Amino acid sequence: MTPATARNTEPLSPLARIRHDVQSMHAYAVQDAAGLLKMDAMENPHRLPAALQAELGLRLGAVAINRYPGACVDELKAALNDHAAPPPGWSLMLGNGSDELISLLALACDVPGASILAPVPGFVMYALSAQLQGLAFHGVPLTADFALDEAAMLAAIAQHRPAIVYLAYPNNPTGTLWDAAVIERLIAAQGAQGGLVVMDEAYQPFAARSWIDNVRAAPDRHGHVLVMRTLSKFGLAGVRIGYLMGDAALIGQIDKVRPPYNISVLNAECALFALEHADVFAAQALDIQAQRALLFEALGQLPGVTAYPSQGNMILVRVPDAARVFSGMKARHVLIKNVSTMHPLLDNCVRLTVGTAEENAQMLAALQASL
Ligand SMILES: *Cc1c(COP(=O)(O)O)cnc(C)c1O
**Is it the case that residue 5 has pLDDT exceeding 70?**
no
Q: What is the pLDDT of residue 10?
A: 77
259 and 333 together in one domain = no
Q: What is the pLDDT of residue 30?
A: 86
142 and 266 together in one domain = yes
Nearest ligand 1 atom, CA 230: 9
**Is it the case that residue 4 has pLDDT exceeding 60?**
no
Pairing outcome for strands 196-200 and 164-168: parallel
The one-letter amino acid code at 102 reads I
**Is it the case that residue 184 has pLDDT exceeding 80?**
yes
355 and 233 together in one domain = no
Q: Whose CA is nearest to atom 1 of ligand 1?
A: 202
Q: What percentage of the chain exceeds 90 in pLDDT?
A: 94
Contact 191, 222 (CB under 8 A): no
286 and 175 together in one domain = no
Residue 56 domain-assigned (yes or no)? no
What does the pLDDT average to over 107-129?
A: 98
* Whether residue 201 has its Cβ less than 6 Å from ligand 1: no
Distance CA 289, CA 44 (A): 11
Q: Where would I find the beta strands (DSSP E) of the chain?
A: 37-38, 90-95, 115-120, 136-141, 164-168, 196-200, 225-230, 242-247, 306-307, 314-318, 334-335, 337-338, 349-353
Last residue of a domain, one of 255, 276, 297: 276
CA of 203 to the centre of ligand 1 (A): 8
As a whole number, the mean pLDDT across the chain is 96
Residue 354's pLDDT band (cuts 50, 70, 90): very high
272 and 283 together in one domain = no
Residue 104 domain-assigned (yes or no)? yes
Residue 5 domain-assigned (yes or no)? no
Q: What is the pLDDT of residue 18?
A: 94
**Is it the case that residue 268 has pLDDT exceeding 70?**
yes
Q: Which domain holds residue 45?
A: 31-49+279-370
For residue 255, give the CATH number of its domain. Answer: 3.40.640.10
252 and 295 together in one domain = no
Q: What is the pLDDT of residue 8?
A: 63
Last residue of a domain, one of 276, 308, 336: 276
198 and 320 together in one domain = no
CA of 368 to the centre of ligand 1 (A): 29
Q: 273-322 pLDDT, tens per residue? A: 999 999 999 999 999 999 999 999 999 999 999 999 999 999 999 999 99
Q: Where would I find the beta strands (DSSP E) of 163-284?
A: 164-168, 196-200, 225-230, 242-247
Q: In total, how many domains does the chain have? A: 2
